[in-house]
Amino acid sequence: MPDEIRRLSDDLARDPSSLVFMPLAEALRRAGQLDVALRVAVRGLDRHPYLPDAHDVLARIHADRGDLERASDEWEMALRLDPSHAQANLGLGFIEFRRGDLESAERRLSTVPPAEQTPGVAAALAHVRSALGARPAKGAAVVMPNGSPPAEATVVSPPLAPSEAMAPAESVVVRETPAPAPAAPEQATPRTTRSVPELPAPDPSRTKQLFDSVLDGSGQYALLVDADGLVLAGAYTDATGKDVAEVIAAELAGVSSEAERAMRHLGLGAWTSLLVEAHEAIVAMTPAPNASLLVVTAARTTPVGLVRLLLDRALARARDWLVRVS
């Protein structure tokens, strides 16, 4: 591996505009040199921003670093550039599985064409389908296909030859924690086992605090609203301290379906976010599972990029929560 890295580094030094940055970044990633891999990939993408494979490599690096949000962004970018990109679908499928969105994960993984279905993909798909089939009733334990105890269900990564090892299969840590733990380097052993602690039953009295852990509290609010404009979770108080969550939710009833219809008329695909800038605040919305709508607001001085990041975090939280209550 060091020889390969040295050779690829030399090639890149000779021709910085070449595409050799991709195999170099990938080799560095596999060698566990994630910071260097990240620099190489980002610099390469500066020169070649429209290469889906380059975004895929960067996504794997982010995934190995435990930054699933950015990994997801990069795989989504790869799919925008190449809607049939199998590795990007695979990566997003694993992230959705990690978030508990099994239906989406199954859909994603199913899009990988049979010709590109390595044993790893097939095993992952079988695993997700099995988990879907074994989805328990509300509050019951998750029973995984290997028959492990409910409170400590396990996900078994598929056996992968080194040549077909994929970042998602090896990097995504399937663990229910607020922040993704850094992924372990790729294992030499063919099978790895990671634990999924059982999700606790939701406490209805705590739904208002659902998003507290993803907001920093300085004028930021998040609300999960159902298709009828009813509050599912979260809270919103106005400047006087009055709870106005239900009023806001009612005003936003139908936003999701109207956005969907507008995009359908235009043939622009599924809507992903709605950002509203107002004099005093920025309001960001995104579709959430079960036809619900997630709304995040922040002070007008908050950078728009940060609001979007908050929205992504809140969405992950909402998905996890909805899996538990539905």
Partner 1 sequence: MTKTPYAELLAMLSRHRGVVGSFVVSERDGLAVDSNVQIGVHAEAVAALAASLHRKARLACGAAGCGVVTFLRLDAEKGGICAAGRDDLVLVTISEARANIGLLRVEMMRAAKALT
Query: Cα angle at 151 between 148 and 156, to 5 degrees?
Result: 40
* Contact status: 306 vs partner 1 (CB under 8 A): no
* Contact status: 140 vs partner 1 (CB under 8 A): no
Work out how close the CB of 25 gets to partner 1 at its nearest, in angstroms, rounded to a whole number.
25
Amino acid at 204: P
Rounded Cα–Cα distance for residues 165 and 50 (Å)? 25
* Sign of the dihedral defined by the CA atoms of residues 294, 300, 304, 306, in that order: negative
Give the number of residues in contact with partner 1, rule: CB under 8 A. Answer: 36
Rounded Cα–Cα distance for residues 139 and 119 (Å)? 33
Nearer to partner 1, 120 or 289 (CB): 289
Pairing of strands 292-299, 281-288: antiparallel
Beta-carbon-side half-sphere exposure of residue 283 (alpha carbons within 13 Å): 12
Nearer to partner 1, 179 or 276 (CB): 276
Q: Which residue in the set 238, 243, 291, 303 belongs to the binding site for partner 1 (CB under 8 A)? A: 238
Rounded Cα–Cα distance for residues 56 and 234 (Å)? 34
Nearer to partner 1, 13 or 268 (CB): 268
Give CA torsion, residues 273, 293, 202, 220, to 10 deg.
60
Nearer to partner 1, 6 or 261 (CB): 261
Binding piece for partner 1, criterion CB under 8 A, among 12-20, 113-121, 207-215, 241-249: 241-249
Nearest-CA neighbor of 72 among 276, 315, 302, 268?
315
Nearer to partner 1, 141 or 247 (CB): 247
Q: Which residue in the set 31, 141, 174, 247 belongs to the binding site for partner 1 (CB under 8 A)? A: 247
Measuring CA to CA, how many Å separate 271 from each of 148, 209, 258, 259, 266?
39, 27, 10, 7, 11
* Contact status: 309 vs partner 1 (CB under 8 A): no
Rounded Cα–Cα distance for residues 179 and 288 (Å)? 20
Work out how close the CB of 232 gets to partner 1 at its nearest, in angstroms, rounded to a whole number.
16
Q: Decide: 89 and 70 in contact? Cβ < 8 Å.
A: no
Work out how close the CB of 117 gets to partner 1 at its nearest, in angstroms, rounded to a whole number.
24
Nearer to partner 1, 4 or 69 (CB): 69
Binding mask 186-225 for partner 1 (x = CB under 8 A): ----------------------------------------
Beta-carbon-side half-sphere exposure of residue 143 (alpha carbons within 13 Å): 8
Binding mask 53-92 for partner 1 (x = CB under 8 A): ---------------------------x------------
φ/ψ of residue 247, rounded to 5: -65, -45
Quote the DSSP letter at residue 160.
Answer: -
Work out how close the CB of 168 gets to partner 1 at its nearest, in angstroms, rounded to a whole number.
21
Work out how close the CB of 218 gets to partner 1 at its nearest, in angstroms, rounded to a whole number.
15
Binding mask 248-287 for partner 1 (x = CB under 8 A): x--xx-xx--xx-xxx-xxxxxxxxxxxxxxxxx-x----
Nearer to partner 1, 224 or 259 (CB): 259
**Burial class of 276 by CB neighbour count within 10 A (0 to 12, 13 to 18, 19+):** exposed
Q: Decide: 281 and 299 in contact? Cβ < 8 Å.
A: yes
Site of interaction with partner 1 (CB under 8 A): 80, 236, 238-239, 244, 247-248, 251-252, 254-255, 258-259, 261-263, 265-281, 283, 295, 297
